[in-house]
Amino acid sequence: MAVAVCVMAVPAASAQNSVSYFNSGVNKYKRGDLAGAITDLTKAIQLNPTYSKAYTSRGVVKSAQGDFDGAIRDHTKAIESDPGNAGAYSNRGAAYREKGNITAALSDYSAALSIDPNDANAYNNRGVAQQDLGRYDAAIADFTKAISLNPVYAEAYFNRGNCKTGKGDAAGAAKDWARAAELNPRFKR
């Protein structure tokens, strides 16, 4: 009986350590210490090889470093560990888009939205990918859905304005750009 308690205590200690390394890695990322974040998130994964959130977070850091292939591998591992991890699909979609694989990006954004249909960011990102392909109507629909979920989503207004320009709707574009600038001065033209 004592042996069973010791065996059970080791995984619990490892799980706690993996969470501590995960938290440390996320905090280092927020402070801009990308190398330190990678180190800590890697340690969290070593201690818990199925830690989906740690893979997803390390993938985000790798994208920030410009390592999109590494990011895609990490997000794929996160999805394998937890197929319901909408964030991993969305973040992998972003990495695919950065690499120019718009078809894969669209697929991943759609998968994320099938898991979490209330993710305004995923709608916005899918809209951008649709825009990349010149699918303005689909893009506008995605930006409009993002705005309906988050009425103060300045970037979605700005992106929708860009698509309206592509469709020749100068007045609609101006209205969306004005709303984007009202919500966030970074979008002032």
Q: Tell me the average confidence (pLDDT) per consecutive run of 10 residues in the chain, 189 residues long.
A: 33 67 96 97 96 97 98 98 96 97 98 98 98 97 98 98 96 97 92
Q: Give the whole-angstrom CA distance, residue 73 versus residue 94.
A: 13
Q: In this structure, are residues 108 and 76 in contact, taking their beta carbons and an 8 Å threshold?
A: no
Query: In terms of DSSP H, where are the helices of the chain?
Result: 2-30, 34-47, 52-64, 68-81, 86-98, 102-115, 120-132, 136-149, 154-166, 170-183
So what's the pLDDT on residue 15? 54
Token digits of residue 136: 């303005």
So what's the pLDDT on residue 4? 35
So what's the pLDDT on residue 27? 96
* Structural domains for the chain: 18-117 (1.25.40.10), 138-189 (1.25.40.10)
So what's the pLDDT on residue 189? 74
So what's the pLDDT on residue 8? 30
3-state secondary structure of 33: coil
Interaxial angle between packed helices 136-149 and 120-132, expressed in degrees from 0 to 180 and rounded to the nearest 10: 170
